Amino acid sequence: MASYADFHRRSIDAPEAFWAEQADLIDWHKPPEQILDACQPPFARWFVGGQTNLCHNAVDRHLAARADQAALIAVSTETGSERVWSFAQLHAQVQAAAASLMALGVGRGDRVLIYMPMIGEAIIAMLACARIGAIHCVVFGGFASGALASRIEDAQPKVVVSADAGSRGGKVIAYQPLLDEAIRLSAHKPSAVLWVERGLAPLVCQARRDHRWAELMVRHADARVPCVWLEATDTSYIIYTSGTTGRPKGVQRDVGGYAVALAASMKHIFDGRAGETYFSTSDIGWVVGHSYIVYGPLIAGMATIAYEGLPTQGMDGQPDGAIWWQLVHKYRVTVMFSAPTAVRVLKKQDAALLRKHDLSSLRALFLAGEPLDEPTARWIGEGLGVPVIDNYWQTESGWPILTLARGVDAAQAPRLGSPGVPMYGYQVKIVHESTGEELAAPNEKGVVVIEGPTPPGFMQTVWGDDERFVNTYWKSIPGKLVYSTFDWGIRDADGYYYILGRTDDVINVAGHRLGTREIEECVAGHANVAEVAVVGVADALKGQVAVAFVVPRSGLAASDEQAARLLEGEIMAAVAGQLGALARPARVHVVTALPKTRSGKLLRRAIQAVCEQRDPGDLSTLDDPASLQQIRARVGR
């Protein structure tokens, strides 16, 4: 087998020949006439002239060989339920849902906004949209009305699919009041709302606008809805990036390029095999859920697990830090995808829980969403006894930019602190933020950029705004038309990349530039630190100072000021010893939880705003409001 370096080089030197080979991994109704059209940079059009369908590749094409195999496994520890659909059953359900949407007037190119919890019907609705050529726009269930309204205005959906409620940690969140208020606020009014009733919250349907999912699914139970063959360059979906302020920024993705990219990634990166089970603990509200809960595993002919609940909550609603591993055992999961934040939550539990169930089926654990610190990587890797593979990507990329391709070279070793090397198709470079000059020497810190043409599966543009796409992503580096990830990074002598944090999260302390990522890595190395967030806070003397917020591993009471001060002193000494006195935090605050989105991303900008007594802005993605209130109380002392 050729080395991964040769594999990657071929994808860069001969992209059309390389991706023509990958295109054979999916079914085409009409083969592409042109593999790549890059005549209008930075826009890249892949598989021009080809016709295919995401739903066909995810469901229909598996019916001949694996109709009775499990396809979708929906598990909710919130309701204590487990449901399994075979490929044949999923095929029937998706056709009924597609017929239901068509009965509400949805056709090719129409948008359908999906505002739902992690339940099977949400995934069926996504596949139904793909089947009939509608463009789905999934908005994270529980989003605040204002943020939801702005997305409704931007996407202009004909229909909204929602549920009466979601639940998290036993706390029910009613969706109807949030959605009704969002529609009231929006200048665009969808013509219909399709409701899934779970019995968790009251549902009062409005005449002519509202319809019940169960009723329409029964009415169309025997429907036969063929896949609409779409141009490869047609739009498959819109997904809005988290943390957007002002007008929402909708990432627009194509059909054919996305299908090929996911099929290739399942084979080359995740080493996923038909007939096996894939378990991603994410949510369909985020891009990971689109790519690696819904489309990627199903395209690969794998069963996929959709999970609603906490990582420490059992099927009976009681605490159970081994619930995920129980599912790995029960469904013989071979590949798992989660987030470092989730692992840090589990890290507070007894490590013996990692060995409570038979995990012999598991080949690898992939982690993404937040930088993976060394202590967390070591803890979970040693506990599970399988390779832990970090990976780095963005909503905009649709699939990993940096990781290790397990299906190409399983012997390629991960390096602690690094998400890996550039994936095939990605021309990744480190450049100087002011001059645009490439920093080719090892360990030089600069901005991580991608040279065009971007590979299949990458965003096409910003929905409805090509100019914004170009100006936002491709013109931030002086004199260079390159895609900016807006992340600092370095590359070692062997080509492994290390992400040092957002370019706008750099702290300028007395003229010295410090990355919060480096300080967090150091703080996380303390034996009694489970989670950490470091932000730069304005300082009259130094310009900025670092302030750290830590969640201890041991039960340290928030009121125990003496113990908190002791921990603060130890952390300050450790940072000063490893990174120098300039990097030492001005304060280390001990808290019980850090403010995060439901996907586990730390809301560092909100923390920074509270520290500087500014408005934290849109908090619609905030999972636990009490966490930010606690920080406000801490810094107010």
Residues 6 or more apart whose CB falls under 8 angstroms from that of 220 comprise 95, 96, 97, 99, 100, 103
Of 473, 490, 522, the residue that ends a domain is: 473
So what's the pLDDT on residue 602?
83
Same domain, 224 and 276: yes
Same domain, 205 and 159: yes
Q: Which neighbouring-strand residues pair with 490?
A: 498
Q: What amino acid occupies position 14?
A: A
Domains of the chain: total:
2
**The CATH number of the domain where 274 resides is what?**
3.40.50.12780
Same domain, 442 and 578: no
Helix ranges (DSSP H) in 28-86: 54-58, 63-66
Same domain, 214 and 82: yes
Residue 500 backbone dihedrals phi, psi, to 5 degrees: -110, 10
So what's the pLDDT on residue 2?
64
> Count of alpha carbons within 13 Å of 308, Cβ hemisphere only?
28
Same domain, 535 and 414: no
- Residue 351 inside a domain? The answer is no
Write the CA distances from 391 to 75, 104, 257, 494, integer angstroms.
Answer: 25, 40, 21, 17
Radius of gyration (Cα) for the chain, nearest Å?
A: 24
- Residue 505 inside a domain? The answer is no
- SS3 of 540-582: the string is CCCEEEEEEEEEECCCCCCCCHHHHHHHHHHHHHHHHHHHCHH
Alpha-carbon 632 to chain mean position: 28
- Residue 375 inside a domain? The answer is no
- 3-class SS shares of the chain: helix, strand, coil, % to 5: 35, 25, 40
Same domain, 459 and 408: yes
pTM: 0.87
The distance between the two most distant Cα atoms of the chain, rounded to a whole number of Å, is 72
- SS3 of 413-478: the string is CCCCCCCEEECCCCEEEEECCCCCCECCCCCCCEEEEEECCCCCCCCCEECCCHHHHHHHHCCCCC
So what's the pLDDT on residue 513?
66
Q: Please report where in the chains the tokens 């150091």 appear, as a residue.
A: 522
Local structure of residue 354 (DSSP, 8 states):
G
Write the CA distances from 363 to 80, 409, 506, integer angstroms.
Answer: 28, 14, 37
Q: Please report where in the chains the tokens 């990432």 appear, as a residue.
A: 251
Residues 6 or more apart whose CB falls under 8 angstroms from that of 351 comprise 379, 383
Q: What is the DSSP string of 484-548?
A: EEEEEEEE-TTS-EEEEEEGGGEEEETTEEEEHHHHHHHHHTSTTEEEEEEEEEEETTTEEEEEE
Same domain, 466 and 515: no
- Residue 14 inside a domain? The answer is yes
Q: Please report where in the chains the tokens 């489970």 appear, as a residue.
A: 530
SS3 of residue 351 by DSSP: helix
- Residue 447 inside a domain? The answer is yes
SS3 of residue 325 by DSSP: helix
> Alpha-carbon distance 402 to 375, whole Å?
20
Helix ranges (DSSP H) in 365-410: 374-384
Tokens of 336: 């798992």
Write the CA distances from 130 to 56, 126, 394, integer angstroms.
Answer: 9, 6, 22
**The CATH number of the domain where 548 resides is what?**
3.30.300.30
SS3 of residue 471 by DSSP: helix
So what's the pLDDT on residue 518?
79
Q: What amino acid occupies position 205?
A: C
Residues 6 or more apart whose CB falls under 8 angstroms from that of 368 comprise 288, 337, 339, 390, 391, 392, 393, 400, 419
Contacts 24+ apart (CB under 8 A), 610-613: 610/635, 611/535, 611/537, 611/547, 611/635, 612/537, 612/538
Same domain, 460 and 579: no
Tokens of 591: 């808290």
Q: Please report where in the chains the tokens 């012997």 appear, as a residue.
A: 411
237 within 8 A of 253, measured Cβ to Cβ:
yes
> Alpha-carbon distance 520 to 207, whole Å?
53
Local structure of residue 69 (DSSP, 8 states):
S
SS3 of residue 447 by DSSP: strand
Same domain, 405 and 529: no
SS3 of residue 222 by DSSP: coil
Alpha-carbon 304 to chain mean position: 16
Q: Is 626 exposed, middle or buried (0-12, 13-18, 19+ CB in 10 A)?
A: exposed
Q: Which neighbouring-strand residues pair with 587?
A: 547
Q: Please report where in the chains the tokens 């849902």 appear, as a residue.
A: 97
Helix (H) or strand (E) holding 90: helix 87-103
Helix ranges (DSSP H) in 248-330: 256-268, 287-289, 296-299, 323-330
Single out the residue of 389, 405, 492 nearest to residue 8, CA to CA: 405
- Residue 339 inside a domain? The answer is no
Of 473, 496, 530, the residue that ends a domain is: 473
Same domain, 435 and 536: no
Sign of CA dihedral 370, 372, 373, 379: positive
So what's the pLDDT on residue 558?
59
SS3 of residue 34 by DSSP: strand
Domain range enclosing 60: 4-309+391-473
* pLDDT averaged over 10-residue windows placed end to end, the chain, 637 residues: 88 98 98 98 98 99 98 98 98 98 98 98 98 97 86 97 95 96 97 98 95 98 98 97 64 98 98 98 94 98 97 94 97 96 88 94 93 87 95 96 97 92 98 94 96 98 97 94 95 95 74 77 91 90 89 76 92 87 91 84 87 83 84 85
Q: What amino acid occupies position 406?
A: R
> Alpha-carbon distance 285 to 67, whole Å?
28
- Residue 493 inside a domain? The answer is no
- Residue 503 inside a domain? The answer is no
So what's the pLDDT on residue 512?
67
Local structure of residue 414 (DSSP, 8 states):
P
Same domain, 464 and 516: no
Same domain, 132 and 44: yes
